Structure 1
Amino acid sequence: MLKYCLRENLLTPAPDDYMAQVQDVRSYTLDEIIDLMMQKGSTLTKADTKAALQVYAEVVCTLIKDGAALNTPLLNTSLSISGTFNGAADSFDKKRHTVHLNLSAGTLLKEAVGKIKCEKVEAADTNPYITEVTDIVSGKVNEVLTAGGVVQLVGSRLKFDPKDTAQGIFFVPETGEAIRAAVIAENKPARLMAIIPADLPAGSWYIEVKTKYANATKQLKTLKSGRFGKALTRSS
């Protein structure tokens, strides 16, 4: 069951426009998935299953590293290259060009998505909520982050204390340490603007806001955080 609540849609002028926000989604580790496989009465041991999945992952990564594409019942992949080439004689340069891995659902996942049942629940949290991320330099929404440029966040309960290093706008990689925005141009409950670090490495990044504000003026002792649900690609 997919649980969701409704929140005011701040991207439209109509006061009665609301949008759905998914709630209480549980994530599963590989070990937990293997345990569920064992419950289905697999003839393989847990160790054998884990080893087989490890080999599967290694083969998939090797294929991707070799520039191949996957076409499986679970997912499909394709590769693309971004960046400008200076004439027909120019070649790929990691400093100017980026390879992107594009993922889409395979037939089995598409079928599973079509069977999801939804349940409406009441919104209980008071965490920061980001509805839109705009890269001011490129003008693109919810897609890219231009290193050294300006990012604008729209949402609710976003205001934070910039003097507290635990609070702020954070750029979170899929693996590794988060990077905090050092320069804030605007700090309001419904909108934030900040400078994207010029040395932000290439790759996929999540935008996360951390704050202790309970409302426009009152701060709590507990840190609250809200992450935009879609990963953004750093653009140079």
Structure 2
Amino acid sequence: MGLEFYLAPNNMTADTEDYMAISSNTNSYSIEDVFDHMTREGSTITKAEALASFEEISQGIINLIRQGNAVVTPLFNIRSGISGVFEDEDDNFDPNRHQVRINLSVGSRLRPITAEIDPQKIKARERQPDLEYFYDDATDTKNDVITPGRGARIVGELLKFDEDDPTQGIFFVNKDDASETPVDESILKNKPGELIFIVPTLPAGIYRLEVRSIIFNTTELRTGALSHELTVS
């Protein structure tokens, strides 16, 4: 699979006819996944050895950067800098006006890889809430059980909604009679990637979980649904 992308209007330029490429690859890998790949069958290094080496390398880089140094590696380059405006040459660093920043750039071994990535244009998909999983705090389960009156969490993308708009929000839809129960006043966290809330009172049954919102830069209400059915016993 190559680098999938679709085109969307470019609001950053004066030309209203311009479009920009939006990458849509959804696979994201952690350092643990990298270690699993490194230590596959036939490898001469164990996962424990890989973890230990990574920690030592990471701490070494952190120590050098902390001292104000730059670190140049084949994969990436790191250096620190200072942002903010100084009033004159006698002005000093003021944490209220200035900030130390860490800057990263591509290293020599990664730079040529761009020529090997195959861009593949796909049809633009409608931007809507994307529910990855539902976590039930009381049972410590994902995409399975709902516990009314207890904490719950939804993880995904484009989840944030306007809490003052009753058409937007988190809704539990009963599979039998299609009745809807919104989460009204128990929203603890409302972020694009995560929603934390208290589950409302729900009768026993099977439910579809939906998040409805008006996405930024759009005007119509859009709905995203969890692909798994949830149960209140």
The unaligned stretches of length 5 or more in structure 2 are 130-157, 170-188, 193-210, 227-233
Where 2:70 maps in the other structure, the secondary structure is coil
Residue 50 in structure 1 maps to residue 51 in structure 2: yes
Residue 80 of structure 1 deviates from its aligned partner by: 1.3
1:125, distance to aligned residue in structure 2 (A): 3.1
Contact persistence 1:161–1:211 (CA under 8 A):
no
| Alpha-carbon distance change, 86 to 51 in structure 1, aligned in 2, over 3 angstroms | same
The equivalent residue for 1:30 is: 31
Measure the CA separation in 2 of the matches of 1:81 and 1:220: 43
The residue correspondences of 1:58-97 to structure 2 (distance < 5 A) are 58-97=59-98
Of the three residues 209, 212, 216, the one matched with 2:219 is 216
Distance between the aligned counterparts of 1:7 and 1:93, measured in 2? 41
1:11 to partner: Cα distance: 4.2
**Deviation sequence 1:160-210 (CA, Å, 0-9, x none):** 64615987xxxxxxxxx8889xxxxxxxxxxxxxxxxxxxxxxxxxxxxx9
Question: Is contact 1:5–1:22 with CA below 8 Å preserved after alignment?
Answer: yes
Tell me the secondary structure at the aligned position of residue 54 of structure 1: helix
Determine if the alignment matches structure 1 residue 39 to structure 2 residue 52. Answer: no
In the alignment, the residues of structure 2 paired with residue 16 and residue 179 of structure 1 have an alpha-carbon distance, to the nearest angstrom, of: 31
Residues 1:32 and 1:12: Cα distance change in structure 2 (over 3 Å): same
CA distance in 1, matches of 2:98, 2:35: 38
- Unaligned 5+ residue runs, structure 1? 129-156, 168-176, 181-209, 224-236
TM-score with structure 2 setting the length:
0.56
- Count of matched residue positions in the alignment of Structure 1 and Structure 2: 156
Contact 1:212 1:222 in 2 (8 A): no
Q: TM-score, normalised by structure 1?
A: 0.55
Question: In structure 2, what residue type is equivalent to 1:85?
Answer: F
Q: Give the Cα separation in 2 of the matches to 1:83 and 1:216.
A: 37
Provide the secondary structure at the position in 2 that maps to 1:85: coil
Q: Which secondary structure state, in structure 1, belongs to the residue aligned with residue 71 of structure 2?
A: coil
Aligned to 1:228: none
Percent identical among aligned pairs is 33
Give the letter aligned to residue 51 of structure 1: A
The amino acid of 1:110's aligned partner reads R
C-alpha distance in 1 between matches for 2:119 and 2:81: 34
Letter paired with 1:216: T
Higher radius of gyration, 1 or 2: 2
Tell me whether 1:18 sits opposite 2:13 in the alignment: no
1:5·1:123 contact (CA, 8 Å) conserved in 2?
Answer: yes
1:22 deviates by 0.3
- Cα 1:90–1:9, aligned 2, differ >3 Å: closer, same or farther? closer
Aligned-pair distance for 1:81? 0.8
